[in-house]
Structure 1
């Protein structure tokens, strides 16, 4: 190993995960890998986690990260790992499971810790925490079992609110999210959601503007960007396909227009309150709903937002005047130092 390689910070980029968001995790990893390619003093190794939890290199050979903080190849050679970027959307990256393993190994990593990840990935615990922090969120019911008694709560909500969103509680990127307006659709959505999660959230469907904020740590300070806006076609909602498909019909605006100073102030305050109160680290994308009546609801907190060619987080960071490579490189160097 050369003297330069010995001095470089070795970053392990883990992507994939084998879950429903495997492919978009690869695309986020492509973005991060491309950004770090020009970072001086940082050397990157990329592995893809398969559905068995194995790390595979670009040749499909197994790599193993062991308790001595060394990454072992199939040939038995090993190299020390200094820092990890867990670029996995959904399980086990956003759920806190992978972060717990890294905590046990004593390896610093990019993103939120195990507890914050677990809280924010579960839509029900997120709502409970937001309420405790004094942050308004959309009216909801939650179902803890797939039984007739619990389903009756959903039917009551449908009768009261007219149109609902049915959401599997622990899926990301709008996976397991269904918009329903009659009992037949409701029953089908509940059955599908319960196949993905043991808890299901039923939310009131509101006519809203969808606003997104990037909140992240830059040079030791919390930065909250002005909200951007996602404008999905009126005949649909911002589904997994609309978020990530190259042919998405959704339009995004890095800076939302026409918001009052009071609205901007509350969104910034709620974002800071959520970031600090939930003990987030390094980055998050915090999503809000603005109703026609002017009500503002915090919809969800994304502890590892997408970073594809059409994703909002890197666009809002750049619009803030910050370079993503410089941002992540500084976090890496600070953590390793």
Structure 2
């Protein structure tokens, strides 16, 4: 019997940004899960801040528009599929996906427009409102001029406590919890270093709920909500989210939710996934207030897949195998691309 023709799959990780190291850990998870799939030949490269690709052998690689991966010695190999395992820029921002689209190479994850919309916290909120999905009260600032920052001061006075967030950063990077005008000034300065737009969001006492959304064997799966319980003295910071020594407690299924609450979370997740034209995966985060209000907080188009990450845990809890899930997406893309 002839062996199946291998699908040359390029795993691009790193990115050189603030989430470089976590991107490598996500790539470790994906590489391990695909190692059991016999017809997928995986090549892993690490991208630096200048877009240079380095292989595990130390060689420099270049991906060209002819869908060939070139080594420094001039040898090439075809690339049939790409997995952009990069959190933050340029993986979650749509930049890398745009390039792959120009090259005509199918890839894992959301397209460039959906990625760009969801990576920007402000445009996410505008789209969610248009889709009829409630989100937390906010102001957004388009500059650090006094007229704009005055809106932040008024929000702090009205709400008592706010989050200041750089609009186009992921995983709690550039996010600050603020209770005083002195803290507000420092937080705005820091946030504007990350982003030209800044979100000022009402701070609420909430339960933090998450669902994983992905296609599996032809059906769109929306998992039961999981829950993240950050330490009482801090919000769910970047360090708490990805540090193996995190003090945050996670529950793969949240307890004590009513059928109505679960139903609305499912409905809002479906509206977001379909309305934003997401593809292959997302982790959608919600806030449940003490008053019972539910707000969609964030749509993450490429969630972390580390040893403590919720997306793979919720998929496993739903009875689904990650290796089968991802290899099925790759095989489906190959059939579509051949047509």
Confirm or deny that 1:39 pairs with 2:43.
no
- CA drift at 1:7: 1.0
What's the counterpart of residue 289 of structure 2?
291
What's the counterpart of residue 192 of structure 1?
190
Q: What are the within-5 Å matches in structure 2 for residues 35-184 of structure 1?
A: 35-184=33-182
Structure 1 SS opposite 2:117: helix
- CA drift at 1:59: 2.9
What's the counterpart of residue 12 of structure 1?
10
What's the counterpart of residue 255 of structure 1?
253
From the superposition, tell whether residues 4 and 107 of structure 1 become closer, same or farther in structure 2 (CA, over 3 Å): farther
Structure 2: segments with no counterpart, 5+ residues: none
TM-score with structure 1 length normalisation?
Answer: 0.98
Structure 1 SS opposite 2:139: strand
Structure 2 SS opposite 1:290: strand
Structure 2 SS opposite 1:29: helix
What's the counterpart of residue 216 of structure 2?
218
Q: Deviations over 1:120-172 (max 9, x none)?
A: 00000000000000000000000001111111000000000000000000000
Confirm or deny that 1:319 pairs with 2:320.
no
Residues matched between the structures, number: 335
CA RMSD of aligned residues (A): 1.1
Q: Is the 8 A contact 2:4 2:39 kept in 1?
A: no
* Superposed structure 1 runs of 4+ greater than 3 Å apart: 3-6
Q: What are the within-5 Å matches in structure 2 for residues 229-308 of structure 1?
A: 229-308=227-306
Equivalent-residue separation in structure 1 for 2:302 and 2:157 (angstroms): 36
- CA drift at 1:220: 2.0
Structure 2 SS opposite 1:282: coil
Structure 1: segments with no counterpart, 5+ residues: none
Equivalent-residue separation in structure 2 for 1:4 and 1:93 (angstroms): 37
